[in-house]
Structure 1
Amino acid sequence: MSTSDPRSPGHRSRRPSRRDRHQRAAQASGPVSDVHREDGVRLQKVLADAGLGSRRACETLITEGRVEVDGVVVRELGTRVDPETQAVHVDTMRITTSPEKVYLALNKPAKVVTAMSDPEGRRSIAEFVRDRPERLFHVGRLDYDTEGLLLLTNDGELSNRLTHPRYEVPKTYLAQVRGPVPRDAGARLRDGIELEDGIAHVDSFRLIDSTPGRALVEVVLHSGRNRIVRRLLEAVGTPVERLVRTHFGPIALAEQRPGKLRALRPHELADLMKAVDL
């Protein structure tokens, strides 16, 4: 008798993994058509609207077999459901499928991590939203030392589009840099700079003010790569001393104080939706 035979004394049974259990449950529970509703909403949109992340991230939850509708594991991305009448669970946890959407603007101070917690014990944006009942996530991020406009929402689809390269939503920064600024800095930045992770360029560059040894410049770009503004400015010989994001698409920081959280105004939200074809 082979040792690979389950009846062999030397055979060790393997405990089924969670994925194995999901697969068996899916096979035993019947076809997805049992829960599919032709006039319903795509399941990944329901999950994103519930604040579980971008639509792409929610598609991964589905294909990994972590989502159940009325007790049936659903893996097909084309599945449509009725969130008003059907029970949707992710990892056995029932989700609220129709939360009230919130759209917030935070003026993030420097020395704050763009995360809801930090293993190193540093300040995080959680302290500014701890009184909010919604499950919020940040749209993109600002690095630890960068200040300024950060959007927060529970609208997964909007967040996904605002950070997707396809929509090229511009972000505007004011940077205090070590001067003087080289005459060709703007042209080089617009043409593109070779960085360690590829070529990057700005949409526009403008010198706002200059004093001996220091300058204030405005940079507009749509790239979301890590520390991209700091790396580009350093590459043209103007290291950043202070960096503030003043605009995210049509949304302006204006006179909002550091640490201040506010709801987007209706016309701001309409402009933001229009910018990403929603």
Structure 2
Amino acid sequence: MADRLQKYLAARGLGSRREIEGWIERGEIQVNGRVAKLGDQVDSGDTILVRGKPVKSDERAHRWVAYHKPEGEICTRSDPEGRSSVFASLPRLRGQRWVSVGRLDLNTSGLLLFTTDGGLAHGLMHPSRGLEREYAVRVLGEVPEEIQHSLLRGVELEDGLARFESLAEAGGEGANHWFHVTVSEGRNRLVRRLWDAVGVTVSRLIRIRYGPVDLGRGLKAGHFRDLDPREVRALYTAAEMSPPRSARPTGKRPGRGGSRPAPGKPRRTR
């Protein structure tokens, strides 16, 4: 069965669909001896060269990891300012590339998912899926009931109306108060912007869940772990895809592993 070229290559772990589209536009891919163009369809019988190297038609053994991003790391592969990249902490691959499922800004920590299956990453991030992202948020000062309700009803931002799907008090002492909130879209810095729009200052932000996968309590900042088979199957289900044959445990232990308690304890949800 024929697939679009970028989808076919992403499914074999060569990169994200967006990255591969860039390679096609720059003439870096050939199909059956001619330079490929956007819209080309291919199947396992075609001869494909990426920067002169042949692509094997067999299915690769994909990997899926959860990474606990610390504050101060960027989510791009390189940075002219020399800041640390999340990709530097991931296990090295041969013939494949890590594709991130969404991003976190420089000052946000918590769960990032990575996979070598670019098709899965695309499916999980597609707006039509509406996958929930859950965050632990520490704010300064009290947050009146009416402000909490307005965040659930919807707040007008510069790029349109937005809201929290849920909002739960999660403890705190003195001037600091924790909340757990969920959003179902990936607009840039959405959680911070919602709080800012109602005049509340966020002092710390941690993503603790993406779709069906939790950060958990056993993963230190700057460390990764391979997802277990249950989590892998749940991700493919969330992306409305069938898990590949390679969706099996790798037997790897958590990379640079350890434990870290999750902040706050939910009290009630509105």
TM-score (norm 1): 0.78
Q: Assess if the C-alpha contact under 8 Å between 1:181 and 1:237 holds in 2.
A: no
Aligned residues: CA RMSD: 2.2
Partner of 1:153: 115
Measure, in 2, the Cα distance between the counterparts of 1:191 and 1:121: 41
Matches within 5 A, 1:1-278: 39-55=1-17, 58=20, 62=24, 66-75=28-37, 77=39, 79-82=41-44, 85-97=45-57, 98-129=59-90, 131-133=92-94, 134-255=96-217, 256-278=219-241
Q: Assess if the C-alpha contact under 8 Å between 1:186 and 1:206 holds in 2.
A: no
* Cα distance change, pair 88–229 in 1 and its aligned pair in 2 (3 A): same
3-state SS in 1 of match to 2:145: coil
Unaligned runs of 5+ residues in structure 2 are 242-270
Q: Assess if the C-alpha contact under 8 Å between 1:192 and 1:202 holds in 2.
A: yes
Q: Assess if the C-alpha contact under 8 Å between 2:16 and 2:99 holds in 1.
A: no
Question: Could you tell which deviates more after superposition, 241-250 or 129-138?
Answer: 129-138
3-state SS in 2 of match to 1:254: coil
* Cα distance change, pair 188–273 in 1 and its aligned pair in 2 (3 A): same
Measure, in 1, the Cα distance between the counterparts of 2:71 and 2:233: 29
Q: CA deviation at 1:246?
A: 0.4
3-state SS in 1 of match to 2:181: strand
Measure, in 2, the Cα distance between the counterparts of 1:66 and 1:121: 28
Percent identity between the aligned chains?
37
Aligned AA (2:206): V
Q: CA deviation at 1:52?
A: 4.1
* Cα distance change, pair 174–187 in 1 and its aligned pair in 2 (3 A): same
* Cα distance change, pair 64–126 in 1 and its aligned pair in 2 (3 A): closer
Measure, in 1, the Cα distance between the counterparts of 2:19 and 2:77: 18
Q: Assess if the C-alpha contact under 8 Å between 1:59 and 1:77 holds in 2.
A: no
Question: Could you tell which deviates more after superposition, 207-216 or 110-119?
Answer: 207-216
3-state SS in 1 of match to 2:128: helix
Measure, in 1, the Cα distance between the counterparts of 2:208 and 2:56: 34
Q: CA deviation at 1:119?
A: 1.2
TM-score (norm 2): 0.80
Q: CA deviation at 1:95?
A: 3.7
Q: CA deviation at 1:76?
A: 6.6
Question: 1:50-73: CA deviations, max 9, x gaps?
Answer: 334444664565577553222123
Measure, in 2, the Cα distance between the counterparts of 1:243 and 1:158: 26
Unaligned runs of 5+ residues in structure 1 are 1-38
3-state SS in 1 of match to 2:136: strand
Which structure exhibits the higher relative contact order, with contacts defined as CA atoms closer than 8 Å and separated by 6 or more residues?
2
Question: 1:114-139: CA deviations, max 9, x gaps?
Answer: 12221111111122125343411211
Q: Assess if the C-alpha contact under 8 Å between 2:74 and 2:105 holds in 1.
A: yes
Q: CA deviation at 1:211?
A: 3.1
Measure, in 2, the Cα distance between the counterparts of 1:140 and 1:76: 24
Q: Assess if the C-alpha contact under 8 Å between 1:246 and 1:252 holds in 2.
A: yes
Number of residue-to-residue matches in the alignment: 238
